Amino acid sequence: SSVEETEKKIQDLIAHAVKTTDFYKDYPEDISLKDLPVVNKDTFRQQYDRFISSTYKDAPDNRVMCTSGSTGTPLRMIQNRDKIRHNTAGGIFLGAAAGYYIGMKEAFIRVWVNNVKKSKFQLIQENMIDSSRMDEQALAEMFHTIEKKKVKCLVGYSSALGELSDYIRRSGRDCSNCSVRAIIPISETMPEPVRRTLEKQFGCPVRAWYSNEENGIMGLQNEKDE
């Protein structure tokens, strides 16, 4: 959208916040964004209820999303039906741009902390791989799962994918029998040498995306980034 359209959307959002939340109710609807107070996660945690819009507060189709808390205290955010649909659409579009299409077998490599903990059956069923252990045996089992289950897309912490890449190099494992067609690092910056090595090992693109639980996918690494 143009600068003018973006500015109008911001102003409409400010007016909505002034009309429907306790935190902003004492500000004029036409106040500029630069004149509003800077807030952070601690502000939300301390005054959580004051930020919730009365328009959506008790909607029956809301859902609550939580950060993992891997970088601090978990944060709860309410999503309405429209935001849920935007998340789904963004996941489909940006997933495809990174090489992942609905129906492809995916493996998700991350630390499964308490608030997103899944049962052993769910982990097996959904190819969820716990990266809290990254010793030689755990890495061998990880590679075996990827190869045996013919996983086509790897999504995981950049550091965990880097450890997997290093294991493949050290052990001399042959990736030619793997079915991986896309690798998507998340949560951390992946060093460029690691990215290039993974691309050579699996013969597929490696493109990071930026996302979190409460906002969904917000950005995808450019295909030509060096």
Distance from C-alpha of 97 to C-alpha of 170, rounded to nearest angstrom: 31
Query: What does the pLDDT look like over 79-88, one tens digit per residue?
Result: 889 989 988 8
Cα dist. 70→8, 9, 76, 78, 81 in Å? Answer: 35, 32, 14, 19, 27
Strands 153-157 and 106-110, sheet pairing: parallel
Q: CB of 63 within 8 A of CB of 79?
A: yes
User: How far, in whole angstroms, is CA 4 from its chain's centroid?
Assistant: 30
The predicted pLDDT at position 112 comes to 57
How much is the CA Rg of the chain, to the nearest whole Å? 21
Helix (H, G, I), strand (E, B) or coil at 63: strand
pLDDT at 72 (0 to 100): 59
Grouping H, G, I as helix, E, B as strand and the rest as coil, residue 15 is: helix
Neighbours of 51 (CB within 10 A): 16
pLDDT for residue 225: 62
Calpha distance 166→162 (Å, rounded): 6
**Ranges under pLDDT 50 in the chain:** 113-118, 120-126
- Compute the distance between CA of residue 119 and CA of residue 136 in angstroms, rounded to an integer: 24
